């Protein structure tokens, strides 16, 4: 009987912690990450033009 009560109490506490973590994560995503990503994506072409190294330049070259 006591074990069932402890398990139930632990589940309630775990659910509270899980809800708090979810709220923190969602708050971070909505208020910081997503707006920052949208800003970057809107300027992606400009960043690509500024970056001098192209994908083809990244290929390994054989040493002689």
| SS3 call for 22 | helix
Does any domain span residue 53? no
Q: What is the length of the chain?
A: 64
Does residue 26 fall inside a structural domain? yes
How far is 28 from 20, CA to CA, in rounded Å?
Answer: 12
Q: Is residue 3 part of a domain?
A: no
The position carrying tokens 């979810």 is 22
Tokens coding 12: 């309630």
Does residue 54 form part of some domain? Answer: no
- For residue 50, tell me if it sits in a domain: no
Question: From CA 24, how far away is CA 29, in angstroms rounded?
Answer: 9
Q: Is the pTM of this model over 0.85?
A: no
Residue 39, domain member (yes or no)? yes
Domain that residue 35 falls in = 8-45
In a domain, 34, yes or no: yes
Return d(Cα 25, Cα 32) in angstroms, integer: 10
Task: For residue range 8-48, list pLDDT tens digits in order.
Answer: 999 999 999 999 999 999 999 999 999 999 998 999 888 87
Name the token pair of 38. Answer: 């949208």
Q: Work out how many domains the chain is built from and give that number.
A: 1
């Amino acid at each position: 009987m006591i074990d069932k009560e402890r398990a139930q109490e632990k589940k309630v506490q775990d659910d509270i912690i899980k809800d708090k973590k979810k709220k923190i994560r969602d708050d971070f995503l909505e208020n910081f990450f997503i707006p920052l990503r949208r800003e970057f994506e809107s300027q992606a072409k400009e960043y690509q033009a500024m970056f001098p190294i192209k994908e083809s330049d990244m290929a390994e070259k054989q040493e002689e």
